[in-house]
Amino acid sequence: MVQSRRKKREPITAEERLKRKVRILAVIARAADDSQFLARLAENPSEALNEYYTLTQEEMAALASGDIEKIESWLGKLDKRHATWLWARLSQEK
C-alpha cells in the first residue's frame, strides 16, 4: 500500500480557532481603520502582511487574495465595514 504524502490535518482546537480569529481580525480591523495600511495591502499584500508574523501561510494567502469565503468560514459573516477592503481586493483580481 502506498502511503499518501499528504499529512492528515489534526482537528483544530478551540484555543487555536480563537487565536486564528484574533490574528485575522487584527488585520481586517486595521485595514478598515488605517487607509495607508489598506493601500499597502492592496498594492503589495505580502509586504503589508509581513509584520503579522503569527499568520499562517493559509491565512496570509486568504487575506492577500481577498478570499472572503475562506475568511468567513473561519470568522463567521463579516459586516460591511470589515468586508469592504476584501471586496475591493477581489475586484482587482477580476
| Residue 23, pLDDT above cutoff 90 | yes
- Rounded to whole angstroms, how far apart are CA atoms 19 and 21? 5
Residue 4 lies in a domain: no
Range of the domain at 77: 14-93
Taking only the tens place, the pLDDT of each residue in 40-54 is 888 898 999 999 999
Per the prediction, the chain carries an average pLDDT of: 82
Query: To 5 degrees, how large is the angle CA 56–CA 62–CA 68?
Result: 140
Residue 42 lies in a domain: yes
The count of domains in the chain is 1
Scan for cell 483544530, then name that residue.
Answer: 12
Residue 2 lies in a domain: no
Residue 65 lies in a domain: yes
Residue 86 lies in a domain: yes
Residue 3 lies in a domain: no
Query: What share of the chain has pLDDT > 90, as a percent?
Result: 30
- pLDDT at residue 9 in the model: 67
